[in-house]
Amino acid sequence: MFENLYNRYMLFRMRQRDIANIKGKCAVCDLKPLSNAQKSDIQHFYQKLIGQKVPTYWHEYFYSRNDNFSVRYVPTSLYHTDVIYRLNSFQLRHAYVDKGIYDIYFPDVNRPATIVKNMNGYFYDGQKAISRSEALERCQDLAKAVVKPTQEGMWGEGVKVFSSNHGSVGEAMTMEQLFDQYGRNFIVQQAVTQHPVMAQLNPTSLNTLRVLSYRQDNEVFILYMVVRIGRAGKSVDNETAGGINADIDLATGTIRDCAYGTPSEKRILSTDNGTPLKGFSIPAFQQVLETVKALHLRLPYFNLIGWDFGIDEQERPVLIEWNRAPDLSQTAHGPAFGEMTETIFERIRHLKNTMLR
């Protein structure tokens, strides 16, 4: 009973956070108010779809950013507090998304090479248990590596690109101190050297492809793919770190038009280093789609997944991580579920919210 009350409270807090989030976004963007007819169309659509009205401020925000009005936008407050917990299992989320066990779920998938990892305070070299001193020894001299949390990291939080020389990480920290900083449940991996075409977008960050996939029965549908691009001098491509997103045409593997960044920015036509975006061709995009379709079937408790892939020097997809509650890229792409919106919501009506069981 108490857990259920707590989860209801958390859903309320998440809903309030989303309201505050959209108010903050709208305050700094050039807001384009919806007409009464547009608001009526939205409510008619959702009344028919889920039997209730929805807040329209997210529709207004996306319409203001990309000039694309649609009743099919998924309100973020509805998505984060209800939709995702009907499609995906809340109870099993931590066990599956732990980056420390990717080698168990995805042993045959191209991933960044693991140097060491810490799981619940224990160190491992791959699946072999090692001591802390052995883990430190393996990290003494690294040309370029990445350390990140394996369980709690979100939006690129805690991701650090570093090099080490005789156990020193820069001038102000030792490898021992870096381990202490992360505590437990983290992984150290070799940094991915990305394909030179992807590096044209921004050479200082690993520019990744975010793919949203949906499973129904034994068929996996690709809802969209966006490319996430870092800003000049930045080592990560996340939007919260100032990164930009651009929609990929799934028929051609090229960027459809422009990119979008912070709410205060207009349409971005080229990257910080001057690379034009429209028509930019993404290497290995078809292989990424095929890989996503195959891997999604390995995760039976999650019907909606956000996948992050890099493209390495050999033009091979590299699985960076998968997300059980991915943010929806509706500014860059448009309505997240597209033409499958009605199909997905019809299914949701018959599923329980796993956070409230």
Per-residue pLDDT of the chain (357 residues; tens, 9 = 90+): 545 666 666 667 777 777 777 777 877 788 899 999 999 999 999 999 999 999 999 999 999 999 999 999 999 989 999 999 999 998 888 888 899 999 989 999 999 999 999 999 999 998 799 999 999 999 999 999 999 999 865 555 688 999 999 999 987 899 999 999 999 999 999 999 999 999 999 999 999 999 999 999 999 999 999 999 999 988 777 776 679 999 999 999 999 999 999 998 999 999 999 999 999 999 999 999 999 999 999 999 999 999 999 999 999 999 999 999 999 999 999 999 999 999 999 999 999 999 886
> Both 48 and 160 in a single domain?
no
pLDDT score at 268:
97
Tell me whether residue 16 is in a domain.
yes
Q: What is the CA radius of gyration of the chain?
A: 21
Of residues 62, 54, 63, 60, the one with CA closest to residue 81: 54
Joined tokens for residue 232:
């000049």
> Both 251 and 319 in a single domain?
yes
- CATH number for the domain that contains residue 296: 3.30.470
* Residue after which a domain boundary falls, among 190, 222, 246: 190
Residue found by looking up tokens 């020193």 in the block: 168
Cα gap 229→194, rounded to integer Å: 13
| Residue 144 falls in which region: left (phi positive, over 0), alpha (psi -120 to 50) or beta | beta
The CB density around residue 108, as the number of other CB atoms within 10 Å, is 8
Cα gap 297→192, rounded to integer Å: 26
Tell me whether residue 84 is in a domain.
yes
Tell me whether residue 257 is in a domain.
yes
pLDDT score at 156:
54
Q: How many domains does the chain have?
A: 3
> Both 147 and 44 in a single domain?
no
> Both 176 and 201 in a single domain?
no
* Residue after which a domain boundary falls, among 190, 223, 246: 190
pTM: 0.93
Measured in whole angstroms, how far is the alpha carbon of residue 196 from the centre of its chain? 23
pLDDT score at 10:
67
- Mapping DSSP to helix (H, G, I), strand (E, B) and coil, where does residue 125 land? strand
Joined tokens for residue 8:
């209801």
Of residues 35, 257, 293, 280, the one with CA closest to residue 307: 293
* Residue after which a domain boundary falls, among 153, 169, 190: 190
Tell me whether residue 141 is in a domain.
yes
Helix 36-50 vs helix 341-348: angle between axes, to the nearest 10 degrees?
50
At residue 129, what is the residue type?
A: A
Long-range pairs for 128-136: beta carbons < 8 A, 24 or more residues apart:
132/179, 135/179, 136/167, 136/175, 136/176, 136/179
pLDDT score at 278:
98
- Mapping DSSP to helix (H, G, I), strand (E, B) and coil, where does residue 71 land? coil
- With 0-12 CB in 10 A as exposed, 13-18 as middle and 19+ as buried, what is 61? buried
Q: What angle do CA 151, 318, 260 make, to 5 degrees?
A: 80
Tell me whether residue 94 is in a domain.
no
Domain of 8, in residue numbers: 2-88+347-356
